[in-house]
């Protein structure tokens, strides 16, 4: 497994904080409050992207993180818009560094797969950035297992590795269990999964007619629009009530419990909203409770479709 560390040598924290809301749903004051809450709990891993909130996310994270950057792992992403060409990577990465106020970034992810640019061009560019000391780790996000392995094979030709993968993973989005998580465990690739709360579905708030991404963003509404997903969320909320714990705490702790997961990415719009996710850091989940929660949603079929072997 890739052993992620800060520049000062501290191991990566068991959770990562995602700053997608910085400068958007969270203004500067709310963003700083969440950053401080994470640091108070020992979180040293922070995630952003070139496209988040028009650059405000990177700018605010840089303001907060810059004074202690040697004690942090800061990740950003390129290529969501404009593709993974050499020119686009270099241009957007330079802008990301300027926004963050950092000469070097710990992790640079390719934000998504690009069918239009040869991987040789992409990974030669990333290898040069690493050789220059401008990035420490190379990551990919939203890649299928075959895409990760293809990328890793090309990366090796330039003397670098795919160090970390950022996939979607939560109780109602478990496709990564089929090939992605076993692949990462086998190949020593760190995993920082996003959306452990399923766009807020697993907090239970939508059962009581709450508001959030699932109602405000048609993409999230479609992503989590199946009836069985809402039933799983209701069942998780019922279990949480029995245990006298917030369902968000259970959802995050469940994602973190998978041995292939390095650090789930938690996020929120305010420090108050973030609190149940942070509480998962101190929640001890045993294997029996993990199995009980896992049974609340369908286990995906094996990659070979040989169901009798599942």
Q: Is residue 70's pLDDT more than 90? A: yes
How many Cβ atoms sit within 10 Å of the Cβ of residue 188?
A: 12
Element housing 292 (H / E): helix 287-294
Check: CB of residue 267 under 8 Å from CB of residue 17: yes
Distance from the first to the final alpha carbon of the chain: 26
| Chain mean pLDDT for the chain | 96
pLDDT of residue 216: 80
Which are the contacts of 114, defined by CB distance < 8 A and separation ≥ 6?
79, 83, 84, 85, 122
Q: Are strands 190-191 and 265-266 parallel, antiparallel or unpaired?
A: unpaired
Q: At what angle do helices 145-157 and 180-187 cross, to 10 degrees?
A: 30
pLDDT tens digits along 120-137: 999 999 999 999 999 999
Q: Which of 52, 137, 206, 220 is catalytic?
A: 52
Average pLDDT rounded to a whole number, residues 263-278: 98
Record the pTM.
0.96
Element housing 165 (H / E): strand 164-166
Check: CB of residue 201 under 8 Å from CB of residue 224: yes
How many Cβ atoms sit within 10 Å of the Cβ of residue 214?
A: 23
Average pLDDT rounded to a whole number, residues 143-156: 98
Q: Is 52 a catalytic residue?
A: yes
Q: Are strands 45-47 and 16-18 parallel, antiparallel or unpaired?
A: parallel
pLDDT tens digits along 78-103: 999 999 999 999 999 999 999 999 99
Distance, in Å, from the CA atom of 152 to the CA atom of 143, rounded to the nearest integer, reads 12
- How is 52-119 classified by DSSP, letter by letter? GGGGHHHHHHHHHHGGGGGG-EEEEEE-SSS-S-HHHHHHHHHHHHHHHT-SSEEEEEE-S--TTS-H
Average pLDDT rounded to a whole number, residues 232-251: 97
Distance, in Å, from the CA atom of 223 to the CA atom of 310, rounded to the nearest integer, reads 26
pLDDT tens digits along 157-201: 999 999 999 999 999 999 999 999 999 999 999 999 999 999 999
pLDDT of residue 58: 98
Domains of the chain: 16-166 (3.20.20.100)
pLDDT of residue 1: 63
pLDDT tens digits along 41-68: 999 999 999 999 999 999 999 999 999 9
Q: Is residue 104's pLDDT more than 70? A: yes
Kindly state the DSSP code that residue 49 receives in the 8-state scheme.
Answer: -
C-alpha pair distances (Å), 64 with each of 22, 29, 38, 57, 230: 11, 11, 12, 11, 37
Distance, in Å, from the CA atom of 310 to the CA atom of 298, rounded to the nearest integer, reads 12
């Amino acid at each position: 497994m890739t052993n992620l560390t800060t520049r000062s040598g501290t191991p990566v924290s068991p959770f990562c904080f995602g700053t997608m809301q910085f400068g958007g749903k969270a203004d500067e004051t709310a963003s700083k409050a969440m950053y401080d809450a994470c640091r108070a709990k020992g979180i040293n891993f922070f995630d952003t992207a070139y496209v988040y909130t028009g650059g405000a996310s990177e700018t605010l994270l840089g303001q907060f993180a810059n004074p202690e950057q040697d004690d942090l792992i800061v990740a950003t992403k390129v290529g969501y818009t404009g593709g993974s060409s050499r020119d686009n990577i270099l241009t957007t990465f330079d802008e990301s560094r300027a926004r963050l106020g950092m000469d070097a970034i710990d992790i640079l992810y390719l934000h998504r797969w690009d069918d239009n640019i040869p991987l040789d061009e992409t990974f030669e560019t990333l290898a040069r950035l690493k050789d220059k000391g401008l990035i420490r780790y190379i990551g990919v996000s939203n890649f299928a297992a075959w895409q990760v392995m293809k990328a890793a094979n090309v990366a090796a030709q330039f003397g670098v590795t795919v160090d970390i993968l950022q996939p979607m993973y939560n109780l109602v989005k478990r496709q990564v269990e089929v090939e992605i998580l076993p692949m990462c465990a086998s190949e020593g690739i760190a995993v920082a999964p996003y959306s452990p709360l399923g766009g807020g579905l697993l907090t239970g708030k939508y059962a009581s007619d709450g508001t959030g991404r699932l109602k405000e963003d048609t993409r999230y509404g479609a992503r989590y629009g199946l009836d069985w997903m809402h039933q799983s969320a209701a069942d998780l909320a019922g279990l949480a009530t029995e245990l006298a714990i917030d369902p968000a705490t259970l959802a995050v702790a469940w994602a973190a419990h998978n041995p292939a997961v390095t650090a789930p990415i938690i996020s929120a719009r305010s420090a108050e909203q973030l609190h149940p996710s942070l509480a998962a850091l101190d929640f001890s989940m045993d294997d029996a409770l993990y199995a009980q929660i896992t049974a609340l949603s369908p286990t995906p079929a094996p990659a070979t479709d040989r169901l009798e072997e599942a």
